[in-house]
């Protein structure tokens, strides 16, 4: 066997090794691409949910001067942008749903469940919590007699969201 044959064989082995290394590198690149694509998708999902995670509602009581108690719902939008078409579904009130709020700006609002005989609606117009601070406002956390079952709304991009009573947040069609 001559040196030419030896070097040709060695070149063939080196070429085969380079091919195997290239295939392995391609498979690794594909695996890393899938991992990074998954991370990018998670980041996009988190960004899509960013505003929605900052919107919530809960039952509360307002204790007026003289001890009169008014039940209602606190709606909080702690994002920097308004949310739209907000519907609060609840139980234990005179009506199972707060009227749809077309736009809820950033802030915290109290919608009282009216029980006066001369009231024209079952729910009072939501007021910023800071306007009712003269009266204590307490979350209704111990009893299941009254509560919020869900809050449904659209974020500032138009995406619909549903937050269940236990906090589960899901995108709606």
The model's pLDDT over 87-124, given as tens digits with 9 standing for 90+, comes to 999 998 888 788 889 999 999 999 988 765 555 567 88
| pLDDT tens-digit series, residues 119-166 | 556 788 888 888 876 778 888 877 788 889 999 999 999 999 999 999
3-state secondary structure of 20: helix
Query: CA-CA distance, 43 to 114, in Å (whole number)?
Result: 43
Q: Among 65, 40, 62, which Cα is nearest to 138's?
A: 62
Query: CA-CA distance, 128 to 49, in Å (whole number)?
Result: 25
Q: What residues does each domain of the chain span?
A: 1-49, 52-172
Query: What's the pTM value of the predicted model, to 2 decimals?
Result: 0.72
């Amino acid at each position: 066997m001559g040196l030419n044959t030896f070097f040709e064989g060695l070149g063939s082995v080196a070429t085969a090794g380079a091919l195997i290394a290239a295939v392995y590198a391609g498979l690794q690149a594909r695996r890393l691409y899938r991992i990074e694509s998954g991370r990018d998708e998670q980041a996009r999902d988190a960004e899509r949910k960013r505003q929605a995670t900052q919107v919530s509602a809960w039952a509360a009581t307002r204790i007026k001067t003289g001890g009169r108690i008014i039940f209602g719902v606190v709606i909080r939008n702690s994002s920097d942008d308004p949310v739209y078409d907000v519907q609060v579904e609840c139980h234990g009130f005179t009506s199972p749903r707060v009227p749809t709020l077309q736009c809820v700006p950033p802030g915290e609002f109290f919608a009282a469940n009216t029980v006066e005989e001369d009231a024209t609606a079952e729910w009072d117009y939501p007021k910023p919590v800071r306007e009712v601070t003269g009266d204590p406002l307490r979350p209704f956390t111990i009893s299941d007699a009254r509560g919020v079952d869900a809050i449904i709304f659209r974020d500032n991009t138009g995406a619909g969201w549903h937050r269940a009573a236990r906090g589960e947040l899901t995108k709606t069609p």
